Amino acid sequence: MITKKETVAMLLAGGQGSRLYLLTERIAKPAVPFGGKYRIIDFPLSNCINSGIDTVGVLTQYQPLALNEYIGNGQPWDLDRTYGGVRTLPPYQAQKRADWYKGTANAIYQNMQFIDKFDPDYVVILSGDHIYKMDYAEMIENHKRNGADCTIAVFDVPLSEASRFGIMITDDDMRITEFMEKPKEPKSTKASMGVYVFNKDKLFSYLEADEADENSEKDFGKNIIPAMLKAGEKLYAFEFSGYWKDVGTIDSLWEANMDLLGDRPALPLKDREWRILSRNDALPPHYTGNSAVINNSVITEGCEIYGTVINSVLSAGVVVERGAVVRDSVILGNVTVRTDATVDYSIVDADTVVGKSATVGKELIESKGITLVGGGLTIPDGVSVPDGVICDKAMLDKLSKGVM
């Protein structure tokens, strides 16, 4: 027996996130750490539970191990339920076919059975690539009021950037009249956030039709939405005006982290009404030593700071030794920055050691770009990692031999 759920959320978390390079070498993009103690997927998951949605299917495909382990039984998000709760849904072998998820629409198509079990009226489709705090309940309310078949959340972007997104053109009542996927000459600035509310029956019939179409790319933006528009279904846009950021690139991931800093951060995480939940190890509070200087930074449990930290975000268990300087950087878990080392305008992945007097990156104003240092590396004492590079093991070996 399973009780009916009004809404089931399906979270697309199979993305590789290839533009995050080393950070997604071993983990899927939604599992990428963010903001000291979170991972990207904490945002949509917390949004679900805060919006009263307690049944979430997480579709995994690329490097699912870390993500599966992280989600576990869903307990940190209060999603360990007897009825509903969070389920990870990997691709599976069926009687007549065995397929990877071929596109976003196909991933949902393959899990229609999971959705149907809860007999929902609405299905919310989410992606695990964005940092934002949003009340989906408000959007579903709006969807009901409009009597819509599908509602798409949109976010106002600058016209210059609009060609990177799926753009909606609406009438005065916010009914969508036209949809353009990454248009060269955008006619509107309403960008799709990748958040959809569907009436379940409508969704299922379009998914089935799309699956039968051999020419389809099995994608929501490219196939399902255009097909629904063509058939004259009622599609509405829902405007979202809070903080929203696609963290698909090293630059945007760095920027989103920096948005946590300042007196009035662009992305405030301290409000208790909309708490972002995450799975954490039991670590002691962070310690700030006598020689420490910390300015405009975010620091979390298990850190030990004896050096200087300015405009930076530090994850759990980071050690900054005496005389070391960390500036304008994002340091992931358990990194050690040894005595007199300097890290500037960089993202340093977990478990890396920056040796004594080593330097990583260049000061923000004169830097060519963000330096990305891979995880689990040991930068030898005194070695300099230049600015704007992606430093993996091979590069580090060259640097230590003085070849570069």
Answer yes or no whether residue 296 interacts with another protein by CB under 8 A. yes
* Binding status of residue 277 toward another protein by CB under 8 A: yes
Measured from the Cβ of residue 239, the count of other Cβ atoms closer than 10 Å reads 14
Give the separation between CA 111 and CA 55, rounded to whole angstroms.
14
Q: Which is nearer to another protein, 180 or 294 (CB)?
A: 294
**How far is residue 296 from each of residues 52, 264, 309, 314, 404, measured CA to CA in Å?**
34, 11, 8, 12, 34
Cβ 50 to another protein, closest distance in Å?
12
Q: Verify binding: residue 322, another protein, rule CB under 8 A.
A: no
CB atoms within 10 A of CB 237: 24
In contact, 337 and 351? CB cutoff 8 Å? no
Q: Are 26 and 66 in contact (CB under 8 A)?
A: yes
Interface region with another protein, contact rule CB under 8 A, candidates 55-63, 129-137, 291-299, 334-342:
291-299
CB count, 10 Å around CB of 127? Answer: 23
Q: How far is the CB of 105 from another protein (least distance, A)?
A: 34
Q: Please list every residue from 1 through 40 that binds another protein, using CB under 8 A.
A: 35-37
Six token digits for residue 231: 């058939």
Question: Residue 41 in contact with residue 67, Cβ under 8 Å?
Answer: yes
Give the one residue of 106, 188, 278, 336 binding another protein; rule: CB under 8 A. Answer: 278
Q: How far is the CB of 72 from another protein (least distance, A)?
A: 11
Which tokens in the block code for residue 275? 């708490």
Here's the x/- map for another protein, 60-79, by CB under 8 A: it reads as ---------------xx---
Residue 282 is a binding residue for another protein (CB under 8 A): yes
Per CB under 8 A, 229 contacts another protein: no
Residue 16 or 296 having the CB closest to another protein: 296
DSSP notation for 332-346: -TT-EE-TT-EEESE
| Residue 80 CB, nearest approach to another protein (Å) | 9
Binding string, residues 156-195; x marks residues near another protein by CB under 8 A: ----------------------------------------
| Stretch of 145-153, 309-317, 320-328, 375-383 lying at the interface with another protein (CB under 8 A) | 309-317
Answer yes or no: are the C-beta atoms of 369 and 388 closer than 8 Å: yes
Per CB under 8 A, does 263 bind another protein?
yes
The least distance separating another protein from the CB of residue 241, rounded to whole angstroms, comes to 22
Does residue number 82 form part of the binding site for another protein (CB under 8 A)? no
Query: Regarding beta strands 353-354 and 336-337, do their DSSP bridges make them parallel or antiparallel, or are they unpaired?
Result: parallel
Which CB, 157 or 298, lies closer to another protein? 298
Structure tokens at 106: 């196909």
Radius of gyration of the CA atoms of the chain, in A? 23
Instruction: Kindly state whether residue 280 participates in binding another protein, applying the rule CB under 8 A.
Output: yes
Site for another protein contains 300 (CB under 8 A): yes
- Binding-site member from 212, 285, 365, 394 for another protein (CB under 8 A): 285
Burial (CB < 10 A; 0-12, 13-18, 19+), residue 343, is: buried
Q: Which two tokens stand for residue 359?
A: 């330097």
CB contact set of 393 (below 8 Å; sequence gap of 6+): 374, 377
Residue 161 burial class via C-beta count within 10 angstroms: exposed 0-12, middle 13-18, buried 19 and up:
exposed
Size of the site for another protein (CB under 8 A): 40
Strand partners, 371: 346
* Minimum CB distance to another protein smaller for 34 or for 238: 34
DSSP-derived pairing of the beta strands 319-320 and 304-305: parallel
Interacting span for another protein (CB under 8 A) from 60-68, 119-127, 279-287, 359-367 = 279-287
Is residue 286 near another protein by the rule CB under 8 A?
Answer: yes
Q: Which of 11, 12, 162, 260 touches another protein by CB under 8 A?
A: 260
212 binds another protein (CB under 8 A): no
Q: Spell out the residues 6+ positions from residue 366 whose beta carbon is closer than 8 angstroms to its own.
A: none
d(CA 39, CA 328): 20
**Site residues (vs another protein, CB under 8 A):** 35-37, 75-76, 260-263, 265, 269-270, 275-278, 280-290, 292-301, 309, 313-314
